[in-house]
Amino acid sequence: MKKIIILISAISLISIYTGCSSGPSCITVVPPTISLTGEKTVIERQIVGEYRELEEDAWSISSVKTTTGRSLSQGQISGDPEIVKAVKLRDYNSEKLSAYKREGAIGEASNGYVAYREMRKYETSPDLKKALILVVDEENRARKIIFSRSLFNIDGTEPDKGKLDNFGRLFAEEQRAVAEKGDWIQDNSGRWTRK
């Protein structure tokens, strides 16, 4: 089946005459010139990738979707499978974590990890608290892997506790800066406040 393309010429569709006496209106409709051709239009060639002029000196620009507050993006971590797994675990739990934060049950601690903020709702329901603590533990385990593997990739050696703690404090500062209004955050003195 052959595709037929209709090309409309740039002739004016409506001609207006002044001083006409041909009837109630002085407007005459003039149909455009129509040419039928089997050729693809410029737009069709662009869509199917046959328009080579677009490829000369073309630049490719792309972006990666990241969660606000993340210091690592997929493009930066593709070489370390442990970090990739940790980031995927964080992504998997991010909605639950955000919900717990909005509720006030979880806060960003000054050491770079998340902490459970005691709430009656969770203290009176062991099942709900168990689910919350599971998310906290998984998030903190993922963060610890990211901290230690990032430092290892920078220095080439396993980081000691001091380096990990320092990295965590820097991460905590970043998390405090991007925390949502109403989230619990802990300052460096250990005092908890709502942002």
Determine the pLDDT at residue 154. 87
The DSSP 8-state label assigned to residue 90 in this structure reads H
Residues 50 and 124 in one domain: no
Q: What is the mean pLDDT of residues 50-61?
A: 46
Residues 41 and 87 in one domain: no
Determine the pLDDT at residue 8. 41
Please report whether residue 64 resides in a domain.
no
Residues 179 and 99 in one domain: yes
The H or E element spanning position 84 is: helix 81-103
More confident residue, 154 or 30: 154
- Look up the domain containing 123 and give its range: 74-194
Residues 185 and 124 in one domain: yes
**Residue 91 burial class via C-beta count within 10 angstroms: exposed 0-12, middle 13-18, buried 19 and up:** middle
- pLDDT band of residue 155 (cuts 50, 70, 90) is confident
The C-alpha atoms of residue 186 and residue 195 are separated, in whole angstroms, by 10
Determine the pLDDT at residue 41. 60
Tell me whether strands 27-29 and 14-16 are parallel, antiparallel or unpaired: antiparallel
For residues 15 and 51, the answer to whether their CB atoms sit within 8 Å is no
Please report whether residue 43 resides in a domain.
yes
Residues 167 and 115 in one domain: yes
- pLDDT band of residue 43 (cuts 50, 70, 90) is low
Determine the pLDDT at residue 192. 95
Residues 111 and 30 in one domain: no
Determine the pLDDT at residue 80. 83
Domain count along the chain: 2
Angle between helices 81-103 and 126-155 (to 10 degrees): 140
pLDDT tens readout for residues 6-24: 444 333 344 444 455 555 5
Residues 94 and 185 in one domain: yes
